[in-house]
Amino acid sequence: MPGKYVATNKEALDSGLIDVVMPAATELANIRVSKVVLIRSEQHAVLSMPEFLELFNENWRFVVKCEVMARKMIVGLRGVMVSQACVLIHYDEDDFNVVRTLILVEIIFIQSSCWSHISLGILSRERNMGPS
């Protein structure tokens, strides 16, 4: 029986069946994973940047490996991960804008504060001469 199984696999490879099955299987795997990732998008939105990068990189490696095996681009999981990354980047951009606004308010406050110019030369002469 094992001899027949090996022969069947060789026949499948030789017949090009693997060229049909592999892209379909990898695309199906991407669709399944993308559904899971999409369902968890709210949890992913609150991840820290290093945590999200770890998730993103793992999924991206999976996408690339599937595309290499399928010998074609698979957009399902790729699109989901890119859209979640955009949401996270936009969220971080909003935080950055808040910080930038606070810094600008402090700069404006400092610039608008009354600062009087004092010549140090006059002060040092007055000290040396004492009260008149």
Please tell me the distance from the alpha carbon of residue 91 to that of residue 46, in angstroms, as a whole number: 10
At 92, the pLDDT band (50, 70, 90 cuts) reads: low
The yes-or-no verdict on residue 115 having pLDDT over 70 is: no
The yes-or-no verdict on residue 1 having pLDDT over 60 is: no
pLDDT above 70 as % of the chain: 55
What residue ranges do the domains of the chain occupy?
A: 2-113
Q: What pLDDT score was predicted for residue 31?
A: 92
pLDDT in tens, 41-91: 888 888 888 898 899 899 989 999 998 888 888 888 888 888 888 777 766
Please tell me the distance from the alpha carbon of residue 107 to that of residue 100, in angstroms, as a whole number: 10
